[in-house]
Amino acid sequence: MTRQEIEQRIEALGPWFYPFDFGGGVRTISNVPPHVTDIFETRRQMLECVVTAHFAGRLPQIRCLDIGCHEGFYSFAMAQLGAGRITGLDVRQANLNKARFAAERLGHAGIAFQQGNIEELDPASLGASELVLFLGVLYHLENPMRALRNLSAVTSELCVIETQVAGEVEGEVEWGAREWTRPYQGVLALIDEGDEFYADNTETGHSPVATCPSPKGLTFMLKQAGFQRVEFVEPPAGAYEQHARGKRVVCAAYK
């Protein structure tokens, strides 16, 4: 493709969420405010730290499934890290169109992209992957527990989850009678994403109803979904401000 053809294709596919450098001065412009784009690099650093520590020299032999892959940004990061067979899954065809184009321009044509919804997924249709990514997705979902059970079913070793988290709430709830109570296992905050959802914002989920977990709630749900061990990843020096303040977290869930 000529430079003019590439630029025309970028414009036709836009707007873009991630900033891609296709070389020769040709780039996509992220529609995310400049003071927020540091989130992309912080996510990548935290993800790569966990992945390299767990898989070390096995990366070329593993299967990687990137659920909610969007435009393929982190699929490409795993390819650059040396991961073998990579599949990106996203609910929106428009995102996949951009991911396939970016993969072609960046030399990652071997990555497979397909449409799918984690909340409605038949895990048997994908099989199990040693590494599963679930970045920036969970807090947009209407059915997070179903999604995490599906996530567990397609993970054979490690799943890396990045999500916004709600503030922790602790206490007890009456459970059938005044004297019978049960402690909270963390909380889910209900968020109305209707304004963005009905405006076709591609960063929302498949519904205007979003559920954002607290850290304890996330840990509890992941273990109930079938993960044996859950560890929160320390943000690096200079991390994006939300990660640094613990308002967004990256956790490694191990089978």
For 38, other C-beta atoms within 10 Å of its C-beta total: 16
Lowest-confidence pick of 107-121, 149-163, 164-178, 192-206: 192-206
pTM of the complete model beyond 0.75: yes
The sign of the dihedral angle between the CA atoms of 76, 83, 160, 231 is: negative
Q: Which fold has domain 35-254?
A: Rossmann fold (3.40.50)
Residue 202 has pLDDT above 90, yes or no: no
Summarize the confidence of residues 23-46 as an average pLDDT. 95
Specify whether the CB–CB gap between 141 and 147 falls below 8 A. yes
Spacing of C-alpha 66 from chain mean position: 7
Which residue's entry shows tokens 């053809």?
A: 5
Instruction: For residue 51, report the phi and psi dihedrals to the nearest 5 degrees.
Output: -65, -45
Residue 177 token pair: 């009678």
- Cα 129 to Cα 69: distance, rounded to the nearest angstrom: 15
Summarize the confidence of residues 240-253 as an average pLDDT. 98
